[in-house]
Amino acid sequence: MKEPSRTWIASSKLTTIMESGSYIETLTENFQAPPSARRTPYQPRRGLSIPAISVLDSNGRIIEAEQRRVFRYLAQQGRGADILFGGGTTGEWNRISNAERQRLIRIETEEVAGLNQKISALEIPSVEAWVGVTGDTRTETIANLECALDAQADAAVIAPLSIKDLDNVVSFFQREVSDLFDHQGRWLPIFLYDNADIAVNPRVPHLHTRDVKQLSRLPFIFGLKVSASRRVLGNYTKGAGHFKDKGEFGIYIGNAMLMFQVFDMERGLLGRAREYWNRYLLHNELPIGVVSGPANALPREWQRAWRACYAGDERLMSIYKSAFEEFGSACHFSKGGRRVEKIIACLKHALKLDGVITSDRVAEGTRFLDENERSQFAERYERIKQQLIATTDAVWISGG
């Protein structure tokens, strides 16, 4: 029997947050959480979130055994991901069928439950299983959220601007999501996903700050993963701060390399002025985590880099920033005189080179590597790994 999820919150606390339609009334009257869970309100998990790649066969179906190996590899026995995020953009969620999205939810939650049993024996903090539930339509999204509930995921991630038939973001969560939780008599934390690259309407690339402000009032909305600038990060933090206590609404850096700027310790008068301006843009609220697609290939290295950034370790920050910039360059190729990025294909090929998976197929519509590009990337990737071996602690070199 799986232990009660930390996603439960005491109903007595819920009544103090917001009365949204019938949601609070129904939940507080009918919902019965385990006694131990009522004493532990959910707090957004800090640290490194890795949006896992999806291992696909020639028919676009998840190869279960290899997908499980990916999740284990990304966890690195507690030294890799703090959060495993399946079904995100790096996982090609928008290029696989909805049935496969739901299979992925079940595979991830089962595998993470097993991982945590082993990790707990080492007295290491458990890994959280966050599952992407965004579908092409509102109906698919709600069905996927119900699947996440049944699978006992730790949290669900929704990219509202990627749902094709969603006209009113706030109403969708206030009505349809709340109704599902009402009828189920249980719920789980939801994190919003803001990424202009997958927005349905290019004229609306980001969530409106006012919508984030209003959504943060809902008791099951706990944070936002943002692939945007520091100013946009700060706007969201400011908006959510009105309705959540400190630490209850988490902002996660989606443009992973931005963490080196956000946590950079400036020196000198001009440097301090820049740092003050950066803090002003973030409204004095630092992000609590980073979401890194490239961490699929280097999970321990990204975990160490996150810790170094948060601690202000300038030496390590410099080493990892340089290595990760080189990795980003390694995923670009020249095509017809243009520079083309093939990050997902490179991540899959890196895991194949490291013996984690045997299939590095990408979904239809994702840029793939030709044989020459495979060779180029393999050489570049090996060089990066050797540099990290030479300049960092062996404990923080991914393997296994």
- How many other CB atoms are found less than 10 A from the CB of residue 14? 19
**Distance separating alpha carbons of residues 198 and 386, to the nearest angstrom:** 35
The pLDDT tens digits along the chain (400 residues) read 444 443 333 333 333 333 334 433 334 333 434 333 334 578 999 999 999 999 999 999 999 999 999 999 999 999 999 999 999 999 999 999 999 999 999 999 999 999 999 888 878 889 999 999 999 999 999 999 999 999 999 999 999 999 999 999 999 999 999 999 999 999 999 999 998 889 999 899 888 888 988 898 899 999 999 876 767 776 776 655 555 555 588 889 999 999 998 887 555 555 555 554 455 444 445 789 999 999 999 999 999 999 999 999 999 999 999 999 999 999 999 988 899 999 999 999 999 999 999 999 999 999 999 999 999 999 999 999 999 999 999 999 999 8
Question: What's residue 261's pLDDT?
Answer: 87
230 - beta bridge partners?
none
Question: 3-state DSSP call for residue 55?
Answer: coil
Q: Which of 94, 79, 90, 83 is nearest to 55 (CA)?
A: 90
**Domain chopping of the chain, boundaries:** 21-32+44-311
**Distance separating alpha carbons of residues 153 and 168, to the nearest angstrom:** 26
Question: What's residue 323's pLDDT?
Answer: 98
Q: Which of 10, 4, 17, 1 is nearest to 42 (CA)?
A: 10
Question: 3-state DSSP call for residue 190?
Answer: strand
Q: What is the DSSP string of 271-327?
A: HHHHHHHHHHHTTT---SEEE-SGGGT-HHHHHHHHHHHHHT-HHHHHHHHHHHHHH
Question: What's residue 184's pLDDT?
Answer: 96
Structural tokens at position 233: 């990060």
**Distance separating alpha carbons of residues 122 and 115, to the nearest angstrom:** 11
**Distance separating alpha carbons of residues 343 and 329, to the nearest angstrom:** 10
DSSP state of 62: B
221 - beta bridge partners?
190
Q: Do 207 and 160 contact (CB within 8 A), yes or no?
A: yes
Question: 3-state DSSP call for residue 353?
Answer: helix
Structural tokens at position 133: 């539930």
pTM metric for this prediction = 0.85
Question: 3-state DSSP call for residue 28?
Answer: helix
The torsion angle over the Cα atoms of residues 16, 19, 25 and 27, rounded to 10 degrees, is -70
Question: What's residue 318's pLDDT?
Answer: 97
Question: What's residue 248's pLDDT?
Answer: 81
21-32+44-311 topology per CATH: TIM Barrel (3.20.20)
Question: What's residue 196's pLDDT?
Answer: 86
Question: 3-state DSSP call for residue 159?
Answer: coil
